[in-house]
């Protein structure tokens, strides 16, 4: 079975190519060119989306978010990795697992 | 014999008459409409449905079992009348889906909207079928406003500004609304039947102008149980949803066309205020709705005047 590698803080994440986004009054909306589905991001998701415009490690993303939100590192890591899994399932991001 | 028409800022040359379009004496065509054989399928379509197929540069529309239209690269429309005698159905498909697909291929933002105009610009009125787009348009025409479209609206965004190009002089009205307003012509053609109501196309030259109009506002009409019509400015994702849902024949947009359509939506939203106008269910509020839309024209005029003052002060 071809199983996707697990996302860890050492993974690198970036935006998939076949997407188009727009920013209306600070709401970010992403559309898949492949299927026409669109997604609206909340404030935290928008911050993540802007940060991974260039591929970044999950650890640097978590550090960036810890600077902005009052939350424990453990809690932040858990919820961000869960959220990134969802983005990957929707084919909005790709994950490179090997970068240390 | 060749027939020349002007619509959506384009000169069209057709080898058969299309009475709903405005004639022109200009004979340098941007678009050709030809009577020809059209295949029943396209090679490797990006999308295929019973009524249409889409590739990167072509749209095939199946009007009925024997009639088809092929729209190619924003320049050519091939019309196959087949064995059917249904000329009205074919004309309706040319004016609607075929021209809509052509304008998309020419990289315009094509919206399903009625367009009210005056000397300061235009207000686009969107909404699902039966929400009162054409009725609002007629109410404003009764008050002296003009119009640029009542179905397919072609929005262009050259550097600086959002504009709508006039379509063709035709208004589509349900039976009940038709009785309420006076038109310069009695000629009407049935375009749609739903349950106990018929919709007619009226050729109305009065108030129609073949100009490009700056877009001052977009209004999305809907219904709610409140006692009075209410207007509310929309923002963010709500603006995106209104624009996206009112793209004309959005099912034709695949691949790269989706990409630049989203870019256009973003630009439109940056420059044009978008409103939701809700009116009560089962009540005749056309006069109040007309007042509200008329108010958007004067609001935009005030904004323009204020800009002038600021500009003068800076100078």
Q: What is the average pLDDT across B244-263?
A: 91
pLDDT digit string, tens, across residues A23-77: 999 899 999 887 788 899 988 899 999 999 999 999 999 999 999 888 999 999 9
Distances (CA, A) of B81 to A53, A90, B85: 50, 44, 8
DSSP calls for B2-67: -EEEEETTEEEEESS--TTSEE-S----SEEEEE----SS-SS-SEE-SSEEE-SSEEEEE-SSS-
Q: What is the dihedral of CA A41, A42, A43, A44, to 10 degrees?
A: -80
Confidence of residue B28 (pLDDT cuts 50, 70, 90): very high
Q: Which residue of B has its CA nearest to A28?
A: B237
Of B225 and B270, the one with more pLDDT: B270
A91 touching chain B per CB within 8 A: no
Note which residues in 49-88 of chain A have CB less than 8 A from chain B: none
DSSP calls for B213-272: EEEEEEEEEEEES-SS-EEEE--HHHHHHHHHHTBTTGGG--THHHHHHHHHHHHHHHHS
Q: CB–CB of B47/B54 below 8 Å?
A: yes
Confidence of residue B254 (pLDDT cuts 50, 70, 90): confident
pLDDT greater than 70 at residue A5: no
ipTM of the complex: 0.81
Confidence of residue B226 (pLDDT cuts 50, 70, 90): confident
| CA–CA distance, B152 with B247 (Å, rounded to integer) | 9
Q: Quote the pLDDT of residue B301.
A: 63
Q: What is the average pLDDT across B196-209?
A: 86
Q: Quote the pLDDT of residue B136.
A: 95
Q: CB–CB of B154/B95 below 8 Å?
A: no
Buried b (16+ CB within 10 A) or exposed e, B111-121: bbbbbbbbeeb
Helix, strand, coil percentages (3-state) for chain A, rounded to 5, are 35, 25, 35
pLDDT greater than 60 at residue B307: no
A23 touching chain B per CB within 8 A: yes
Residues of A in Cβ contact (< 8 Å) with B259: 20, 33
pLDDT greater than 50 at residue B315: no
DSSP, collapsed to helix, strand or coil, labels residue B162 as coil
Q: CB–CB of B6/B50 below 8 Å?
A: no
Of B156 and B209, the one with more pLDDT: B156
Q: Pick the residue of A21, A22, A37 with the most B CBs within 10 A to test the interface with B by mutation.
A: A22
Interchain CB distance below 8 Å, B254 and A36 = yes
Give the distance from residue B244's alpha carbon to the nearest chain A alpha carbon, in angstroms.
10
pLDDT greater than 60 at residue B311: no
Q: Quote the pLDDT of residue B309.
A: 46
Residues of A in Cβ contact (< 8 Å) with B254: 36
Q: What is the average pLDDT across B245-250?
A: 95
Which residues, listed in sequence order, are joined to residue B47 by a DSSP beta bridge?
B54
Of A97 and B76, the one with more pLDDT: B76
B255 touching chain A per CB within 8 A: yes
Q: Quote the pLDDT of residue A100.
A: 43
Q: Which residue of A has its CA nearest to B258?
A: A33
Q: Quote the pLDDT of residue A12.
A: 94
E-strand stretches of A4-66: 12-15, 19-24, 27-32, 38-41, 56-57
Give Cα B177 distance to the centre of its chain. Answer: 19
């Amino acid at each position: 079975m071809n199983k996707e590698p697990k996302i860890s803080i050492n993974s690198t994440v970036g935006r998939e190519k076949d997407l188009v986004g727009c920013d209306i009054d600070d709401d970010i909306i992403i559309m898949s060119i492949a299927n026409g589905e669109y997604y609206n991001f909340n404030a935290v998701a928008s911050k993540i989306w802007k940060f991974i415009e260039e591929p970044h490690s999950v650890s640097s993303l978590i550090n960036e978010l810890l600077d902005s939100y009052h939350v424990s590192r453990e809690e932040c890591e858990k919820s961000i990795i869960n959220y990134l899994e969802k983005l990957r399932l929707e084919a909005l991001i790709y994950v490179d697992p090997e970068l240390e | 014999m060749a027939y020349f028409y002007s619509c959506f800022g384009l000169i069209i040359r057709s080898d058969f008459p299309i009475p709903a379009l405005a004639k022109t004496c200009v004979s340098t065509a941007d678009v050709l409409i030809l009577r020809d054989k059209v295949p029943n399928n396209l090679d490797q379509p990006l999308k295929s449905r019973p009524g249409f197929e889409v590739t990167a540069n072509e749209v095939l529309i199946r009007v009925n079992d024997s009639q088809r239209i092929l729209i190619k690269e924003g320049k050519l429309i091939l019309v196959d009348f087949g064995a059917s005698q249904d000329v009205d159905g074919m004309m309706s498909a040319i004016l609607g889906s075929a021209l809509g697909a052509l304008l998309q291929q020419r990289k315009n933002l094509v919206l399903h909207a009625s367009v009210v105009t005056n000397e300061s610009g235009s207000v686009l009125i969107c909404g699902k079928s039966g929400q009162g787009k054409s009725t609002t348009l007629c109410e404003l025409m009764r008050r002296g406003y003009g119009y640029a479209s009542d179905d397919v609206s072609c929005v262009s965004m050259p550097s600086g500004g959002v504009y709508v190009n006039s379509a063709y002089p035709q208004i589509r009205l349900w039976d009940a609304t038709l009785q309420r307003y006076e038109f310069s012509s009695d000629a009407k053609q049935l375009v749609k039947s739903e349950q106990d109501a018929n919709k007619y196309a009226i050729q109305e030259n009065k108030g129609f102008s073949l100009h490009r109009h700056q877009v001052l506002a977009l209004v999305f009409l809907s219904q709610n149980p409140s006692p009075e019509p209410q207007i509310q400015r929309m923002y963010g994702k709500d603006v995106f949803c209104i624009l996206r849902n009112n793209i004309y024949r959005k099912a034709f947009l695949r691949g790269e066309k989706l990409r630049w359509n989203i870019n256009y939506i973003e630009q439109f939203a940056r420059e044009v205020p978008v409103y939701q106008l809700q009116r009560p269910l089962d009540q005749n509020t056309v006069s109040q709705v007309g007042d509200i839309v008329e108010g958007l024209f004067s609001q935009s005029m005030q904004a323009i005047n204020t800009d002038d003052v600021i500009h003068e002060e800076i100078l």
